[in-house]
Structures are given as C-alpha cells and as structure tokens.
Amino acid sequence: MVTRGERSAKTRGRRVFFWVLFLFLYGCAVPVHQVDRVMLPLPALETASAVASVAEPSLPETETAVLPASPDVSSPEGDASTGDLRSRIEAKLTRDFPVVPILQGEALLRGMDELRSFYADRAWRPAWFLEGVPVPAVPAFLRALGKAEEEGLFPEDYHLKTIHTLLGSLEKLPAERKSAMTADLEILLTDAYLSYTTHLYHGRMEPGRLTSQWPVQKRAASKLPGFDDIPDAGQFERRLEGLLPAYPEYRQLRVVLARYRRIEAAGGWPVISGGKLMKGQRNPRVASLKRRLFLSGELSALPVRNRDLFDAALEKAVRSFQRAHNLKEDGVAGGETLRLMNIPVRERIGQIRLNMERWRWMPRNSDRFILVNIPAFSMKVVEKGKVVLKMKTIVGKQENPTPSFGNRMTHIEINPTWNVPTSIVRKEIIPKVKRNPGYLSSEQIRIYQDWRPGSKEISPGSLDWKKIDPRSFPYHLVQDPGPKNPLGRIKFLFPNSHDVYMHDTPSRHLFNRQGRTFSHGCIRLEKPIDLAEYLLRNDTGWKKAQIMKKINSGQRLLIALRNPIPVHLVYFTVWSDETGLVYFRDDLYEYDRYLGKAMNHQQGKTGGFLF
C-alpha cells in the first residue's frame, strides 16, 4: 500500500510539472498577462518552495515563486476590500486556461466551470472574506477538514496545509500582494469546500470507472444540498454530518477506523510467529496472542496471571476471530488463522477506508431494500435500518464474478425454466453431449431452432453432434422445471443487462462451505421460500402453504410484485456488528486492489478525473 508520505511526494511532483508547464505556456511571450509576486518565508510553504526551486532558482531566500494572478485590479486604497476581491475573483475564474490552473502551488480540484458557476451565482462576491478579513466560517471549515481522516479521507487532499500557511502569512504582506493572495485563498477555500462536501456525499471515486463490473449505485447530482452558500460557523458540523451516509454500517466503520488508528498510533498489534497454538498449552507466544485479540476486540480483557496459558477465554476469542474472518471455528490458532492475525493494522485501516468509500456510493433515502454482499456470501432484507430477513448465498466464481449493481425486483417465477446461457452451452453442455448422446434427454433439456419466441423444437437425435462446433452452435437450449433444474423451484427477477437473478438451488450441501463461489454469476439463496413469503406477505392467498402448493404442482407461474423492492448487489469486505466485532473478507474479485490503487493514484481528485 502506498504511504501518505509517498502520496505527498507524488503530489508535489505533479504540482511541479503543472507549474513548469504553466510557465512554458504563459511565459514572457504572452505579455498581456501580468503576474503578482508573493513574499513568503520559504520554509513555511512546502508546495510553493518546491515550485520555486524549479521555476526561479535565483529568487532570494525570503521570496516564493512567481504565481499566476489576475491583471492589476487593485482598489485605490490598495487593500483587499470586498469590491476589489470580487473583481479579482471574476478575473481569475473567467480567464481561458489552457491547462489546469495552479494557485499558490496548488492544482485546483474542481472543474473551472463549477467554480465559475458558484461565484457567478453570487455575483462574484467572496464567500470566505469580508473586507479582507476571514469570516468565522473559515476556522470552522479548517477544523472540519482536520477531521477528514475520521471519514476515511485525507486532510492534505484539500489544500489544508497550504491554506493554513497562507492565512498565517497574510497580514505580513504589502497591501497589493495581500490583495492578490486573498483572492487565491478565497478560490482555494471554495475549491476545497466543494471537493470535500462532494466526496462526503458521493465518494471520491466515480463508481463504474474501475472495471466493467463495479457498483454504479447512485447518480451524482449537479449540486449538493447547501452548495449555493457557505454555512455559518455554527452550522458547519451539522451541514457536513448531513452529507454522510445514513446507513448504520457506515457509522460503525467510523468507530472501527478510529479504534484501529489508535492501535496503529500505539505501535500496532504483535506478530505471532511459529506453529499452531491451542487450548491447554503454555507458551510465551500465547501472551502475544492474547494481546493481539485484546487490541482487536475479540478478547474482552487481558488476564493478570497466566498470560502464557491458552485458556477457555482465549479459545472463545479465537473462535470469534475465526467467525469474523470466515474460517472454520475450531478455536485453534493455526496457519490460516495466524496469517490473518498477522496482517498489519495499517493494511486493515486501508481496507476500512475503501469500504467507507463504497457506502458513500449507496443511494440515499432507501427505507426498504434487499442487500446482497458478495464477499460475505449473504443476503439480507432491511426495513428502516433493521434486518428483517437474512440468509446465506452462493455467488459467482472468480472467472464468472457476480456483478455489482442496483435495480428493482419486479417478479417471482415459480417452477422456472432455465434458458441455458450460450457460454455454458459451448463450454459445458456440448462436450457432455458428445461424450453421452442421451445427456440432454436425461437432464430434461430441450433444443429450439433459435432464441425467438415460438421457435421450433428440434430432436437431439436429429443433430450430428460429432460435427458440431461449439463456437458456432446456433440453437437455444431450455431446461424444464424439475429437481435437476439448477434454478431450483423458485426464481426472483430484477431486470439488468447482466442477466443475473436470485434463485433456489438443488445443491443445498454447498451452503455448508466457508467460501461459496460456485455459480456462473447468479445468486443462489439458502432460504428462497422465506424470501418469497416476505415479498408476498401483503397479498391475499400467498401464505407459505399456498406458495408450496403452487411449487408442488410443477406448473410454471410468473407473479408480478405489487410493491417492487430495490435490490443492491454490493461488494463490502469489512463491516462491524452491534457488539463491535469487526468482520473482514477476502478480496474475491480483486475489487479492493483496483479501488485502493485508484484512490492512492488519484489523491485529491474527484471521479470525473479518474484515469
């Protein structure tokens, strides 16, 4: 994982590149643009000093680089009055920039159109300064930015250090340079505010841009609530809290993140080396094991005596850890259990941040929905924040991943037929038929001329299977309802381009496995009849007994739901329960790796700038 120091170094390098490019495009050959020079002590402004070392190596030690600024529009008094500041803001934002603009060594995070729109709507009036003096909202906002890590974000992504430095130096400057810097500070503050609030509400990254199968849960609004103004100092905290996901899972991850950051600050948790440890053993490594589980919360207290004894309390703690990491709960600290315990807390913090980002992608105001968490192999129905139904699932193999997306469940199909996907026909069915010509009949699979409705049925014996090329097989295979149908007795439909749905399965024994990646992408349900009963609970004549009666009839029946329900297929690899136990799951499809790489690469940028 890339460290914050490495990320900062990369960011400074990008800023230097943009600055050199800006000087090249806006150099002496363009005399129409006048620039302001700002006097600042070099050690106080790291980003500006880095730029200065490239742009103007001959500057005195007390002077920074020449910074891009508007033409000279100073007021007669020469101070940063409101009228002068309005003119400077308008001049800076209405200029036609050929490259990303840089102010005081900082590349702007938002698009110029967004910043222009914000200020044009307020007639170019400053939002953060009144008669050249910062309004009380400025320190309130900077305090909020300083807490960005509580939300899994980084304060340095939002110009925080530069803004603090410039504000501290503002009063030391001559009037003209103070006026120019105030305009830059005004724009930097707004840029940081729009970026931070957008990231809190929508997430830093744009879902759907990382892979073709990534959760696109929510469309970005053109403006956030309260985007037209800067809140008063006393309202800042409430305004930002209102932008956060209302899901309890997000709040729980905030608590876990804070706890894990404290563990990291104290030096992390111990590494337990060597072989397995089990109940009844005395071993110096047991003391390290107890401390490891005490820090992460599975062990409630550290004993005063017998710290080297593997006792019943420790065995219970090991079982809790194993349950939280989807391992066999045998209470023995063996190879895989110790491997997961030894993952550094810093790596777990990064994983928590990724999952907080995913919660920011989720839609708002969803009181009732179905949530399928792919890495957790689970499905739950949620009503007003409470889980009313939960069950195990089977999801797609690594080569056939279950996609992440959202839609609305509209129909239930009883005794469904199975339209065998072309990929399965080519890779699995045709080879079996070539080995056993009676395979289709024994599996109650029919052949049709093509995929059009009403297509003619063809006898399997009429085809010369030895000459059939799987790559050009034109026929449509359909499996009848029955005990051999992989969809089982009931199927749940929610329209989507992936042709994915939830369904029953005759392979019930697979639900006893720890890792359940056995499907071709669809979601197999442990208790599908319970889900059908829930969805039809308000419809007359659809109690569980009536549902089973229809299933036992063997007849296919399609039922339209009177109240369609949102379905979210999501990818959360970390969550916490009400007891505080933290659950971690494997990165089945490497989506954590993709997202982590993108978020570290895109420090401070929104999804619109992804890649």
Cα separation of 504 and 401, whole Å?
A: 18
Residue 141 in contact with residue 135, Cβ under 8 Å?
no
Q: Which of 316, 284, 280, 288 is nearest to 300 (CA)?
A: 316
Token duo for residue 527: 């208790």
Please give the DSSP secondary-structure letter assigned to residue 250: H
The answer to whether 70 and 183 are in contact (CB under 8 A) is yes
What whole-number percentage of the chain has pLDDT above 90?
Answer: 69
Over the stretch 250-297, which tens digit does the pLDDT of each residue have?
Answer: 999 999 999 999 999 999 999 999 999 999 999 999 999 999 999 999
SS3 564: strand
> In the prediction, which pLDDT does 79 show?
47
Q: Which CATH number fits domain 251-347+596-609: 1.10.101.10, 2.60.290.11, 1.10.1370.30, 1.10.3720.10?
A: 1.10.101.10
Task: Say what the pLDDT of residue 261 is.
Answer: 98
Written out in words, the top-level CATH class of the domain with range 376-417+481-570 is mainly beta
The residue extents of the domains of the chain are 4-241, 251-347+596-609, 376-417+481-570, 422-475
Q: How buried is residue 305: exposed, middle or buried, by Cβ count under 10 Å (0-12/13-18/19+)?
A: exposed
What's the DSSP call for residue 480? P
Under-70 pLDDT residues of the chain: 1-81, 100, 208-228, 602-611
DSSP state string for 56-97: -TTS-TT---EE--------TT-S--HHHHHHHHHHHHSS--
Tell me the per-residue pLDDT of 18-36, one tens digit each, with 9 for 90 and over: 444 443 333 332 222 222 3
Which of these, 72, 73, 113, 74, lies nearest to 93 by C-alpha position? Answer: 113
The per-residue pLDDT for 102 is: 85
383-402 exposure pattern, b = at least 16 Cβ within 10 A, e = fewer: eeeeeebebbbbbbeeebbb
User: Residues with Cβ < 8 Å from 202, sequence gap 6 or more?
Assistant: 218, 220, 221, 360, 361, 607
CA 425 from centroid of its chain's CA atoms: 35
Q: Tokens for 250?
A: 């997000």
CA distance 130 to 128: 7
Q: Give residue 600's pLDDT.
A: 81
Tokens of 435: 């080995």
Q: Using the 8-state DSSP alphabet, how is residue 17 labeled?
A: H
- Please give the pLDDT value at position 365: 75
Q: Which residues make beta-bridge pairs with 414? A: 490, 557
Distance CA 451, CA 312 (A): 62
The DSSP annotation for 381-414 comes to EEETTEEEEEEEEEEE-TTSPPPPEEEEEEEEEE
